[in-house]
């Protein structure tokens, strides 16, 4: 896990590796599928906590040409525009199974406050810390899931302009400063392998 201090508040920004992402989701699932879905919406779709608590089954759109998408109406507090992000098939099926008896306009996650999402992330991170002994888990917050999502997409060589569109970022400077502050060890290894003399 990479961390970096915030400029204007206590705590640290965190970027999870792929293995750490899987561990966090597994620990969230210990509390049930709804917890796993909520954290997956953050780390697999780049959603903010305020968006996680409002997304509904009707926001899932099946695109014939590009696969399933999740329509995110945007965070009014962030003056964010609506956007569509790819919805991983596994997450789509989990949501469908979980919301089988939901109305199309009933939120996928049954909580109404972002504080609950914060507690769910904190609880899963505490379990990760207990298992690994890595004290940096105590810094992980819901927004770190979105940060991790953006960075992992870059590491998989997804076009940055497309990531910015999916995430709702309008300028490269903000995207780079706040979301790509650290690359994973996997990314560093991959880049070093490209240069023979390193």
- Tens-digit pLDDT profile for residues 150-161: 989 988 888 888
Q: With a cut of 90, say whether residue 170 has pLDDT above it.
A: no
- Tens-digit pLDDT profile for residues 68-100: 999 988 665 565 678 899 999 999 999 999 999
* SS3 of the chain: CEEEECCCCCCEEEECCHHHHHHHHHHHHCCCHHHHHHHHHHHHHCCCHHHHCCCCHHHEEEECCCEEEEEECCCHHHCCCCEEEECCHHHHHHHHHHCCCCCCCCCCCCCCCHHHHHHHHHHHHHHHHHHHCCHHHHHCCHHHHHHHHHHHHHHCCCCHHHHHHHHCCCCHHHHHHHHCCCCCHHHHHHHHHCCCCC
* Entry pTM: 0.88
């Amino acid at each position: 896990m990479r961390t970096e201090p915030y400029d204007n508040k206590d705590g640290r920004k965190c970027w999870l590796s792929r293995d750490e992402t899987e561990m966090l989701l597994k620990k969230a699932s210990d509390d049930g599928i709804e917890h796993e879905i909520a954290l997956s919406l953050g780390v697999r779709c780049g959603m903010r906590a305020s968006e996680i608590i409002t997304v509904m089954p009707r926001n899932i759109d099946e695109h014939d040409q590009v696969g399933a998408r999740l329509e995110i109406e945007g965070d009014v507090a962030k003056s964010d525009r609506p956007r569509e992000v790819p919805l991983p098939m596994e997450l789509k099926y989990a949501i469908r199974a979980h919301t089988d008896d939901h109305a199309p306009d009933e939120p996928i996650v049954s909580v109404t406050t972002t504080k609950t999402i914060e507690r769910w992330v904190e609880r899963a991170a505490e379990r990760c810390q207990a298992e690994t002994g890595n004290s940096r888990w105590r810094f992980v917050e819901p927004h770190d899931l979105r940060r991790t999502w953006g960075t992992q997409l870059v590491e998989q060589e997804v076009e940055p302009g497309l990531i910015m569109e999916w995430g709702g970022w309008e300028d490269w400077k903000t995207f780079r400063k706040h979301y790509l502050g650290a690359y994973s060890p996997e990314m560093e290894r991959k880049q070093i392998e490209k240069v023979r003399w390193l």
